[in-house]
A = this chain, B = another copy of it.
Amino acid sequence: MSPKRTAATAPVLRRITAEAVLQALVSGDELTAGDLMSATGLSRPTVHSVCDELIGRGWVTETGAAHAPASVGERTAIQVAASTGGRPSRRYALNAGAGLVAGIDLGATKISCCLADLRGRIVVEATEPWRDEHVGAPERVMIARRIMKELLAEAGGDPGRVLAAGMAVPAPVTDDGHAVALESYLPGMAALDLRTALRPDFDWPLLVDNDANLAVMAERWRGAARGVDNVIVLLAGWRLGAGICLGGRLIRGAGAAGEMRFLELVEGVGNTDAVGGMCRELGAVAAAEIIAGDRPATPEDSVLVELCAGDPETVTAEMVVEAARRGDQAAVDVVDVVMERTARAAAVVSTLLDPELLVLAGGPADAGDVLLPVFDHHLGRLNSVRPRLAASMLGDHAALMGSVRAALDHAFEHLLD
């Protein structure tokens, strides 16, 4: 009993051309009709017609001619194209302020939220550590809503201006992109229907995905993997997970692709729970090392012991990295052990999937100088044909930026509806 099949096929063309124009504009630059003509293959009258329509809908603005508004600190790559004489062209640009998208990163240790404009520039942002590690999932979602309300107030936007929201969670997400499958990471998360997580307050379309999946899209967007279609991000912070992008598309299998539990059956290492990432492992291995060490654990002898003030329980990944940087042999050994293990995982993944680029992310911040060479060494030893290697450029922000990207994608897809 569908309401009379609106098969309308004339406007389809308009839709296609409008999408093409919008797509060209999404990059964020000001473009002239000529630019749009060559970008889309359309004729000049059509370009103007489409742009007028998009302006009417509010998604595009016509910027004043060659003023080059160059707001300080932001190089907008506007080429004013030394005029050779001739009527000045109209300049079109995406109306970045026509809407907002929301990004949420429900991390293992903290929550980050932000609002971004249609160019993906973050307008407001807030990060909070969890009060304690064992906050339940429903409560975490409530905190996300509270923060988002505060951000909206700060930005002076009303909820209706937000076109979509993205959310990163540290666990696999089922195929429909909404519910969580495994329980191992966040207690109570699987029972939650994330599709409606923001619902009482915000009625936005909510895109939920695995943090590693979103991280890889973020690195492709604005990070170390720009323009790379076959890339894997190894998210090795508190847990070990991979975001896999092949052929320019996210790989999620039936939902849980990118999980690294195979390490257990590869070598018998790791708890049956989640496989730990570098942060967890560096601390744990170092603590074990100190406790079992045959050397006296004195601050004079060991930078590591000095840094943790003698208490192995308090050793953090940052301490290990710092100690290794200062030449402490025990710390160097710990780094070597943990990176060998991480490299082994990476070798399996990259042998099987043959990416062009491997991005290491989520480790202790700014530790690339210490970790990357060791990782590279082991990867080279294990894997004859290995991909290019890079450290994340987004670090902590990868998943958050990925959630923004997901929201933007959704928003643009439905902009013309």
Contacts and interface: CB of A to CB of B under 8 A. Distances in A.
A260 interface: yes
Interface string A253-266: 11111111110011
B5 A9 contact: no
Contacts of A16: 12
A253 B230 contact: yes
A253 B261 contact: no
A260 B352 contact: yes
Interface stretch (A217-225, A244-252, A310-318): A244-252
B247 A5 contact: no
Interface string A1-24: 000010101001100110000000
Contacts of A5: 41
A131 to B, nearest CB: 33
Interface residues of A, number: 46
B7 A254 contact: no
Nearest to A182: B385
B353 A42 contact: no
Nearest to A356: B254
Given A246-B257, A265-B347, A13 B17 contact: no
A262 B42 contact: no
Contacts of A172: 354
A299 to B, nearest CB: 39
Contacts of A249: 247, 249
Contacts of A266: 266-267, 348
Contacts of A254: 230, 354-356, 387
19 contacts: A7-B41, A9-B46, A242-B352, A246-B257, A247-B252, A251-B251, A253-B354, A254-B354, A255-B354, A256-B354, A257-B353, A258-B352, A259-B352, A260-B351, A262-B348, A265-B347, A265-B383, A266-B267, A266-B348
Sorted nearest first, the 10 A-B pairs with minimum C-beta distance are A253-B354, A262-B351, A256-B354, A262-B348, A257-B354, A7-B41, A254-B356, A266-B266, A254-B354, A253-B353
